[in-house]
Chain A
Amino acid sequence: MSEEAKKAVIEYLEKLKKSKVYFNDLEKAVKSKIPDMKTREVKKVLTELINEGTLIYYSTGSTTMYGLKGKGITTDTPDLEE
């Protein structure tokens, strides 16, 4: 189930025009494919993707978002357009 969820996250982010999304956007993307998956399990999947280096956190300081590594935002050029 975890691999399927990871695939759902990556596919969702690849198709998206935006470079970063909120946790609940990814949660909805996963639950659209795996309706029974619990929020905490989605979080575990996202943490695995972060640890693998596939996803990255983006933080404004007050809010945290997720993005696909290499898509749109990099470490040295903060993207503050959104």
Chain B
Amino acid sequence: MSFKPPGPKVPQREIKYDEVRIYTDEEIHNYTEEELKNFKIKYDIPMLEELEKGPWPSFVADTKQLALHRRKLADDRVLMPKECAEDLLGQLQLSLEHGETHWKHGGIVGVSGYGGGVIGRYSDLPERFPAIAHFHTMRINQPNSKFYKTDYLRAIADLWNFRGSGCMNMHGSTGDIIFLGTTTEQLEPIFQEMAHVLNQDIGGSGSNLRTPSCCIGKARCEFALFDTQEMCYEMTMHYQDELHRPAFPYKFKFKFDGCPNGCVASIARADISFIGTWRDDIRIDQEAVKAYMAGELLPNAGAHRGRDWGKFDIQREVIDRCPTKCMALEDGKLVINNAECNRCMHCINTMPRALRPGTDTGVMLLFGAKAPILDGAQMSVCLIPFMKTEPPYDNVKEIIEKTFDWWMEEGKNRERLGELIQRMGLPKFLEVLGIPPAPHMITEPRSNPYIFWRAEDVPGGLTFDINEYRTKHAR
């Protein structure tokens, strides 16, 4: 497989809301609290209104606000049927009564040249709920780490209220901004506006590389061990064809976690998880360790203060909780056997002033996670415990492309990478990647070191005669 090198980085265009806005302030704030209190949608929705009575903010209340807002807009100020929010609630009430969904999903809807980012959704009762006969979802590639300016948020909210339902999900599980509900004829204009005015691409869906996502990284986090945003951007740009033109057996996800705390949960969801790590020793400030022990510094940077947990006990709260038992207090000093550390981050999180990751940092690559709703998550397996990462990440891309090639060649339809690894065996995947097996690839290397050896891997060869074996062992 060959991939085009990325073009020069395009400078980010600053969006000024006043230059792109669609609605006036009066149109945006077009109802009073009193009007909202007295507002009734055109359907009876007793079961949904029950949901409003709980302690948490309710999507029913939000959708009612949207319904009132849209009802009060002039007819020519929306291009999606004005009653869509009301029909949405009406259909949901009916679904709750019937105990089954009234949505159909899938279809040919899309935007020119793209095979992802739009998911067709249709009501199966279009005559009863005509405003949501078409209610397609669009996935928008979120900015890295979800940094926004209010100008940008206002601009996309205006666009979506004008050409879509106004319902938005910030954000979907994969990280995209989700636009919920528009008609087929609005898809292309929305895409053009997003691309050419708001400088914003749509995301991945279907048998594509899904929108890569990363944690907040070095922008705000002291633990970030590589530049997650840089790497996520580079991979998004480099694999544009994989993102927009589907040719994979199924979905494929990249996620970038700056440290093993894993704030984007790459280990539980991504086909390839990139997690920041270090290969030297954890840095220890013994004075700060003493300050924690003396109660001068709050554990977990004070995150758990407010309740009486008793005096900080380094033995019970840190040393005994180390999963590999690689820490001890010796003569009042904290010592760590770094070779045994498995990067659980517990000690570093508990005493961030005293302990910091090492300085020789890079990224570990884990493969094969998936998070299906019914079966629960399958965690990814760490096959490459450390790689140095520098733009343009050619060493990482080489691994990615070997993985793509193998999966595209061998993967069955709707088979994730993790399932393929299980079906063909981990040794086969290691052969594809060209890396030797190692104990860390096995869940319990000390109690279950079972491995299938191939004849050519065994020094001196392996001779086995099945007929001779059968003379001693009946089938």
Which residues does A use to contact B, with CB under 8 Å?
Answer: 22-24, 38-40, 42-43, 46-47, 50-51, 56-64, 67, 73-76, 78, 80
Q: Is B248 an interface residue (CB 8 A)?
A: yes
Q: Whole-angstrom distance from the CB of B121 to the nearest CB of chain A?
A: 8
Flag B113-137 by CB within 8 Å of A: 1 or 0 each: 1011011101000000000000001
Residue of A39, A40, A47, A64 near B206 (CB, 8 A) is A64
Task: With A50-B115, A57-B206, A57-B246 given, name 13 new contacts (CB 8 A).
Answer: A39-B1, A39-B247, A59-B106, A61-B119, A62-B250, A63-B206, A64-B208, A64-B246, A73-B108, A74-B108, A76-B184, A78-B108, A78-B120
By a beta-carbon cutoff of 8 Å, the part of chain B in contact with chain A is: 1-2, 104-110, 113, 115-116, 118-120, 122, 137, 184, 205-208, 241, 245-251, 405, 408-409, 413-414
Q: How distant is A8 from chain B, measured CB to nearest CB, in Å?
A: 16
Chain A residue numbers with a CB within 8 Å of B107 are: 58-59, 73, 75, 78
A-chain residues with CB within 8 Å of residue B118 when the two chains form the complex: 59
Cross-chain contact A51 with B113 (CB below 8 angstroms)? yes
23 contacts between A and B (CB under 8 A): A22-B207, A22-B249, A23-B246, A23-B248, A24-B408, A39-B408, A40-B1, A40-B2, A46-B247, A58-B108, A59-B107, A59-B116, A59-B246, A60-B105, A60-B106, A60-B206, A61-B205, A61-B206, A62-B250, A63-B250, A73-B107, A78-B107, A80-B104
The one of A24, A39, A59 that contacts B120, using a Cβ cutoff of 8 Å: A59
Residue contact A78 to B122, C-beta cutoff 8 Å: yes
| Residues in chain A near residue B245, CB distance under 8 A | 43, 47, 50
Docked-complex contact B249 and A24, CB < 8 angstroms? yes
Which residues of the partner chain A approach B119 to less than 8 Å between Cβ atoms? Answer: 59-61
Decide if A64 touches B120 in the complex (CB within 8 Å): no
Bound state CA distance, A24 and B415, in angstroms?
Answer: 12
Q: How far is the CA of A58 from the CA of B184 in the complex (A)?
A: 14
- Nearest chain-B residue to A22 (Cβ)? B413
Q: Let me know if B115 and A57 touch, CB within 8 A.
A: yes
Which residue of chain B is the closest to A59 with respect to CB atoms? B206
Specify which chain A residues have a CB less than 8 angstroms from the CB of B249 in the assembled complex.
22-24
- C-alpha gap A60/B136 in the complex (Å): 12
Bound Cα distance from A43 to B244, whole angstroms = 12
Chain A to chain B: the 4 pairs with minimum beta-carbon distance, closest first? A64-B206, A64-B246, A78-B107, A60-B106
**Main secondary structure on A side of the interface with B:** mixed
Contacts of A43 in B (CB 8 A): 241, 245, 247
A64 to B245 Cα, complex, angstroms: 10
In the bound complex, what is the Cα–Cα distance between A50 and B111 (angstroms)? 11
Across the two chains, which residue of chain A brings its CB closest to B412? Answer: A24
Chain B residues closer than 8 Å to A47, beta-carbon distance: 245
Pairwise interchain contact B115-A64, C-beta atoms closer than 8 A: yes
Complex: A47 Cα to B112 Cα, angstroms: 11
Chain A residues within 8 Å of B241, by CB? 43
| Interface pair B104/A78, CB less than 8 Å apart | yes
Shortest C-beta distance, A33 to chain B (Å), equals 18
Q: Does the CB pair A58–B106 fall under 8 Å? A: yes
Interface residue from A51, A56, A63 paired with B207 (Cβ < 8 Å): A63
CA distance A61 to B116 in the complex (A): 8
Task: Please name the residue on chain B nearest to A61 by beta carbon.
Answer: B119
Query: B2 — which chain A residues lie within 8 A by C-beta?
Result: 40
Give the chain B neighbours of A75 by CB distance below 8 A: 107-109, 184
Do A62 and B206 contact each other (CB < 8 Å), given the known contacts A47-B245, A51-B113, A78-B107?
Answer: yes
List chain A residues, Cβ under 8 A from B122: 78
**Complex Cα distance A67/B248, Å?**
16
Nearest-neighbour CB distance to chain B for A69, whole angstroms, equals 9
